[in-house]
Amino acid sequence: MNPASIASPWGPALEIVLVLLALCAGAGLSVQAGVNTAMRGYVGRTEYAALVNFAVGLAALLIWLLVMRKPWPALSSAGRAPWWSWTGGLIGVFYVNVVVLLTQRLGVGMTLALAIAGQMSAALLLDHAGLLGLPIRQVTARHMLGAALLVAGVVLIRR
């Protein structure tokens, strides 16, 4: 990772914390795949495992917001958001269901290797084109090489 890409006025210590947070979030996705797949074994269907995942997540988020005592946004603010900004939950439902379905067939490593390759491909497109209101970020040959190496990693994991 290029430290300049996450430079902050708080110095390198914060940059290290941010990198560690990102690594922990990524590790959490692997754990989540296993946890949700185990839940599927108890509830019988992928969709029910996803429902448990989102219900527990919703409860945890509500508790967090209540503890933090932050003011609630006006509903009119959310109503002004573009239609596509409402699809995050749908994408989350799709992701969790697919990961639970594929983890039991392909294993956590292969499932997440493919998911990461898809994430990186979409990330490069979003950065390059500045889609969804994101700032345009130059995609270089080095970025493309990194993505190609991720795909090569998927091939190696699959074999």
Q: What share of the chain is helix, strand, coil (3-state, %, to 5)?
A: 80, 0, 20
Residues 37-68 pLDDT 10s:
999 999 999 999 999 999 999 999 999 999 99
Residues 99-116 pLDDT 10s:
999 999 999 989 998 998
pLDDT band at 9 (very low <50, low <70, confident <90, very high): low
% of the chain with per-residue pLDDT over 70: 94
CB burial string 21-51: b at 16+ within 10 A, e below: eeeeeeeeeeebbeebbebbeeeeebeebbb
Q: Is the per-residue pLDDT at 78 higher than 70?
A: yes
User: How far, CA to CA in Å, does 31 sit from each of 71, 99, 102, 137, 159?
Assistant: 32, 11, 14, 31, 23
Total-model pTM: 0.80
Q: Is the per-residue pLDDT at 1 higher than 60?
A: no
Residues 26-43 pLDDT 10s:
899 999 999 999 999 999
Average pLDDT on 13-18 reads 89
